[in-house]
């Protein structure tokens, strides 16, 4: 953790005291941050990194769109099945009441 403005030191020692951690190591903050930035620069500005990143993002985007389209298709299929089933129920109800048969439990529920 940052101790003061310019030094990193062990956070356990800083927060819980020297009885819990006797680590005395400190690191100059500016040097540590520069080292991290240098590593990140190597990673992000390295050969082909951005090209690979763009390809990965495009790939994920395509996968997400495909998944969304498949969900929409399933939803449409289910909607069609529901409509057909409702129609079949209506047909069953109208057939049994038009030929004079008594109401069934099914019809009472509907």
Residues found in the chain = 110
Site membership for Zn ion, residue 21 (CB under 5 A): yes
27 binds Zn ion (CB under 5 A): no
Instruction: Indicate which single residue of 1, 6, 12, 44 sits in contact with Zn ion (rule: CB under 5 A).
Output: 12
Q: How many CA atoms lie within 13 A of 12 on its CB side?
A: 7
Number of residues that bind Zn ion (CB under 5 A): 5
Q: Which letter does DSSP use for residue 69 in this model? A: H
Closest CB 36 distance from Zn ion, rounded Å: 20
CA distance linking residue 61 with residue 55, whole number of Å = 10
Q: How far is the CB of 3 from Zn ion (least distance, A)?
A: 12
């Amino acid at each position: 953790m940052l101790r003061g403005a310019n030094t990193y030191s062990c956070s356990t020692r800083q927060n819980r005291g020297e009885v819990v951690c006797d680590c005395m190591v400190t690191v100059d903050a500016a040097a540590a941050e520069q080292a991290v930035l240098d590593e990140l620069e190597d990673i992000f500005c390295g050969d082909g990194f951005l090209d690979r990143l763009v390809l990965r993002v495009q790939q994920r985007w395509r996968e997400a769109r495909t998944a969304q389209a498949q969900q929409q298709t399933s939803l449409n299929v289910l909607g069609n099945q529901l409509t057909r089933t409702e129609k079949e129920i209506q047909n069953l109800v109208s057939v049994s009441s038009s030929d004079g048969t008594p109401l069934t439990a099914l019809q009472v529920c509907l």
